[in-house]
Structure 1
Amino acid sequence: MARRCTSRVRFSEHACRRMKERGKTRKKVTPEVVRRKLLAMLPAGLQVYGLAVEIPITERLYAVCVPETWGGWTVVTFKKTAGAKRH
């Protein structure tokens, strides 16, 4: 039996729109950038909100990711602040 690809990341259409609106960064944010940060943070422990995890891309920009049934991750949106920092 083949292993599932647990490290594949894709962007939803909504995430692509939010990236254009909120992602005014000097570096380009790609699924590969999110994948590397996600794989680095999973063993260290992530703050989980329901099924979603927030991955810091820059100091102020976070990618909200959810696991998929096919074994990978989908970025559903980009946020300016982390959920834990809101009051």
Structure 2
Amino acid sequence: MSRRTAIVVAAVLLAAVVAWNAVAVSLWSLFAAVAVLMLILYELLVAHFEAHGLVAGQPISRSGKWLLALIGIHTVLGIAYSVYKHVL
């Protein structure tokens, strides 16, 4: 197992534990756990692009576009929830 794979596996396990605890703690903790998972998925996507020799300027695959869209949606939802919690 490569070092990068070991780091990703450890991060996924950590995110799973945080998500499990977040259910009982708060929605904010759940957002944090999902953010960690999104960053891990993004890192895997970048690793995939690097492994296949993709460089800037080349088109992104359909799965890559979906993943980037999910990261964006999660970011917007996290910001909206944070504003909601601090304003109300």
> After TM superposition, is the score higher than 0.5?
no
TM-score computed with the length of structure 2 as normaliser: 0.25
TM-score computed with the length of structure 1 as normaliser: 0.26
Larger helix fraction of residues: 2
* Larger Rg computed on CA atoms: 2
Q: Greater RCO between the two (CA within 8 Å, min separation 6)?
A: 1
Larger strand fraction of residues: 1
